[in-house]
Structure 1
Amino acid sequence: MKAVGLIVEYNPFHNGHAYHLSASKEAAQADVVIAVMSGNFLQRGEPALLSKWYRTKMALLNGVDIVFELPYRFATQKAEIFANGAISILEAARCESICFGSESGDISSFLHTIEYIKEEEKNLDDGIKFFMDTGVSYPKATALAFKQLQSSNNYLDLAKPNNILGLEYIKAIQRQHSLINPMTVTRKNANYHDEHFTSETIASATSIRKAIFSPKAEGQGIDQYVPAATKQLLEEYFHHFQLFHQWENYWSYLQFRLIHSSTEDLKEIYEMEEGLENRLQAAAIQSESFQQFMERIKTKRYTWTRLQRLCVHILTNTKKVEMNSNLEKATYLRLLGMTANGREYLNKTKKDFTLPLVSKLSSFKENMIDLDVKAARVYALGVPNHLKDEMFKQEFSQPPIYIK
């Protein structure tokens, strides 16, 4: 059976994802679609709208055959490390290809850009340093330095987020000497960061989340932008847990961690850079909400996303010593769910997997999974008190979801 891999968050699964899934399966002529999906905290440094188990069910009901969890140590990282973890999982699961959405839509432009970056590495590094010295963030400095260097239209626009991720996926394939074949499809109609609906059927996850949290401001619902299964699961989750997760649900916990930790302890948090701990601690004392706190700490040098990821690590008390090793490859395959077709693939192929397959957490003793468990426990703090215990236990008791 031929498998194509997708690297996803599905926060939530929408019509654009459905298009990407079907286009990927067709382009790869695949029998099976395997998704590597971030857990409860995401690459932009946010809690997922709803739990990984509900998002897994969304994926399976909408055409994915197997869902593996992207571990916390990769899911809450910059693009390079995020890509390392995801590609290593798809390689271990014997995917023949990956297909990602991009603003470019042309795989040759990715390959040309990678070669050009190798040739111009010294000049690019000098350019990045120059622009960072002006006070801009690393991603912005990289995009500016690359734009300054290039003399052709055959290269990627590195100011576009999905182009950046796609580039890192291919670089990870090359670093890991993987035989995975990279492919890309053009994102349709909506851009990654769009906050408003610009199409009749396709919308970004950002705009959908904004509509969910402020439907009156958006002036319309989300029904036309998501499959029926997504709508049903969103309603079911809200009815049961009485909320969708967002940073404000965790603000009191983050504020407590910041105010009651010493600056020496905060310095040990992953991605904490010298001096930031003082800025964050002072802002936490003065702020009444997470939004207010972020507005106080934001600078040109640090992107909103970069600061949110740091906040996730503070919230989960994740130390540098826990994260500064094993960032090249995943060490296990955590199975979250499968269809009948996915189970057939696992039965035929799992003997050839190069990483241990984890379907029951209690039987797996790998230390690396402790970060996922801790993140799941912290995520559960966001729900009402009488439901916390249920969500705490789910991490250990929930078997992989099976859709016949």
Structure 2
Amino acid sequence: MKAVGLITEYNPLHNGHLYHLKQAEKSTEADIAIVIMSGNWVQRGLPAIADKWQRAQAAIDAGADLVFELPFYYAAQAGDIFADGAVRLLADLQAASIVCGSEHADTDFIDLAKQAPATDGDMTFDVKNQTYASNFAAALQAKTGFQLENANDILAFSYAKAILKQKLQGRLQLLTIPRVAAGYHDDVLNNGRIASATAIRKALADEQDISAFTPMKNLKYTDYEEKLFELLKYRLSTDGLGQIRSVYQVNEGMEFLIKQAIEKNPLNFAEFIAMIKSKRYTFARLHRVLVYILLNIKVDQMNLAMQNPYHRLLAFTQAGRAYLHEKKKQFQLPIISHVDQKIANKSLNIDYKAGLVYDQIMGIKDAQDIKRTPIQA
């Protein structure tokens, strides 16, 4: 059996994702589709609009055969680590290809990525009032002429770099399809049936009807910022500078900036973020760092987790089950389908903790991990 892999967040799953899934299966003639999906926290360091089980069910309903959770330590990360982790999981699951959307689908991203190392150490990286991503894009454009600025292009480029880094070229093919109808950052619903996840979330918050744009039912908007800020204020008020400094990705004196901001008693999360925002740090990076602080994830804990990945199975079809049975001897990483307290505290330590905090913020009473079994279709 041949599998195609999709790397997703489904925040929420919408009609554009349905198109992506169908085109992926069609273009690769795959027998099954494997979805690697961010869990309860997405790449931008924010809680997903619906929990991972709701979104896994939506993926299976849409035609996926296997849905695995992209662990928090890969999911809530900058693009390179996000991509590297997802590609690693799909390669171990013996996917033959990855299909992703792109604003420039005719670009050979593997070839583009081969030129990326030549940009390392470029003088533009010395521009200290710009983010690393901006400096890198400028250096890449100077080298190749390609302007890497669109969200899906950036992810496709990151997947290509991961494939090269892991020496998977020839074994794992990267295919891109054009993003249609709506841009990644479009924040309003259009007159068609495809809208961005950003626009759908905004419309949901504004109590607009989104049924024409997503097959997911019973979606509701939860204003998470107040609860998130309450928990974060407690952590930042009680932890000293040394404790904050020991958290993953807190560097360059960021702990002083954060501590000073919280001591000014900001009224809400938005005001707090505005106090620490600068050209050097994107909102996404700041959100991720704050979640790391909230979860108290130390550098060694995160590094150890990334060195010991696993496949957390969330949902499967009968075809997916048959694929796992056929390929299981080829997998190097363990598949976790049932979670007890021992596994939660050991293998799933970071994800388990992230799930508990997600539940508090989103007001969810059902357990995310303990005793939950994969969805069967």
What SS is found at the alignment partner of 2:369?
helix
CA contact (8 A) 2:114 2:161 kept: no
**Structure 1 residues 244-253 or 14-23, which shifts more?**
244-253
Q: Give the one of 241, 246, 268 matched to 1:263.
A: 241
Question: For 1:121 and 1:138, how far apart are their aligned partners in 2?
Answer: 12
Question: For 1:365 and 1:253, how far apart are their aligned partners in 2?
Answer: 22
What SS is found at the alignment partner of 2:201?
helix
CA contact (8 A) 1:107 1:182 kept: no
**Structure 1 residues 77-86 or 139-148, which shifts more?**
139-148
Could you say which residue in structure 1 is the equivalent of 2:137? 143
Q: Which amino acid in 2 is paired with 1:374?
A: K
Q: Give the one of 119, 137, 149 matched to 1:159.
A: 149
Question: For 1:354 and 1:44, how far apart are their aligned partners in 2?
Answer: 29
CA drift of 1:100 comes to 0.7
Question: For 2:163 and 2:287, how far apart are their aligned partners in 1?
Answer: 28
2:125 matched to 1:129?
yes
Could you say which residue in structure 1 is the equivalent of 2:320? 342
Cα deviation, 1:37-65, whole Å, max 9, x if unaligned, reads 11111111111111111111111111111
Could you say which residue in structure 2 is the equivalent of 1:117? 116
Q: Which amino acid in 2 is paired with 1:146?
A: L
Question: For 2:6 and 2:77, how far apart are their aligned partners in 1?
Answer: 18
Instruction: Give the RMSD, CA atoms, in angstroms.
Output: 1.9
**Structure 1 residues 288-297 or 13-22, which shifts more?**
288-297
Cα deviation, 1:236-274, whole Å, max 9, x if unaligned, reads xx4xxxx53633331100111111111110001111113
CA contact (8 A) 1:46 1:247 kept: no
2:187 matched to 1:208?
no
Could you say which residue in structure 2 is the equivalent of 1:396? 370
Question: For 1:263 and 1:376, how far apart are their aligned partners in 2?
Answer: 26
Question: For 2:152 and 2:5, how far apart are their aligned partners in 1?
Answer: 16
What SS is found at the alignment partner of 2:291?
helix
Q: TM-score, normalised by structure 2?
A: 0.93
CA drift of 1:330 comes to 5.6
What SS is found at the alignment partner of 2:115?
helix
CA drift of 1:192 comes to 1.3
Question: For 2:325 and 2:285, how far apart are their aligned partners in 1?
Answer: 40
CA drift of 1:352 comes to 2.3
Could you say which residue in structure 2 is the equivalent of 1:12? 12
What SS is found at the alignment partner of 1:395?
coil
Q: For the structure 1 residues 168 and 15, does the alpha-carbon distance in structure 2 shift closer, same or farther, using more than 3 Å as the test? A: same
What SS is found at the alignment partner of 1:351?
helix
Q: Which amino acid in 1 is paired with 2:266?
A: S
Q: Which amino acid in 1 is paired with 2:141?
A: K
Could you say which residue in structure 2 is the equivalent of 1:221? 209
Q: Which amino acid in 2 is paired with 1:161?
A: A
Q: For the structure 1 residues 116 and 137, does the alpha-carbon distance in structure 2 shift closer, same or farther, using more than 3 Å as the test? A: same
2:163 matched to 1:173?
yes
CA drift of 1:355 comes to 1.3
What SS is found at the alignment partner of 2:348?
helix
CA contact (8 A) 1:192 1:205 kept: yes
Question: For 1:52 and 1:352, how far apart are their aligned partners in 2?
Answer: 27
Question: For 1:258 and 1:200, how far apart are their aligned partners in 2?
Answer: 45
Could you say which residue in structure 2 is the equivalent of 1:189? 181
CA contact (8 A) 2:355 2:368 kept: no
Q: Give the one of 287, 291, 304 matched to 2:283.
A: 304
CA contact (8 A) 1:193 1:206 kept: yes
Could you say which residue in structure 2 is the equivalent of 1:37? 37
Question: For 2:196 and 2:292, how far apart are their aligned partners in 1?
Answer: 26
CA drift of 1:233 comes to 4.1
Question: For 1:46 and 1:366, how far apart are their aligned partners in 2?
Answer: 23
Q: Tell me, which stretches of 5 or more residues in structure 1 are unaligned?
A: none
CA contact (8 A) 2:13 2:58 kept: yes
CA drift of 1:83 comes to 1.2
Cα deviation, 1:333-369, whole Å, max 9, x if unaligned, reads 1101112221222222223222111101227489442
Residue-pair matches, total? 373
Question: For 2:124 and 2:74, how far apart are their aligned partners in 1?
Answer: 24
CA drift of 1:331 comes to 2.4
Could you say which residue in structure 2 is the equivalent of 1:21? 21
CA drift of 1:199 comes to 4.6
Cα deviation, 1:314-335, whole Å, max 9, x if unaligned, reads 11111112113464x6621110
CA drift of 1:278 comes to 2.0
Question: For 1:148 and 1:306, how far apart are their aligned partners in 2?
Answer: 25
Cα deviation, 1:51-89, whole Å, max 9, x if unaligned, reads 111111111111111101111111111111111110111
CA contact (8 A) 1:99 1:183 kept: yes
CA contact (8 A) 2:119 2:143 kept: no
CA contact (8 A) 1:85 1:330 kept: no
Question: For 2:181 and 2:33, how far apart are their aligned partners in 1?
Answer: 23
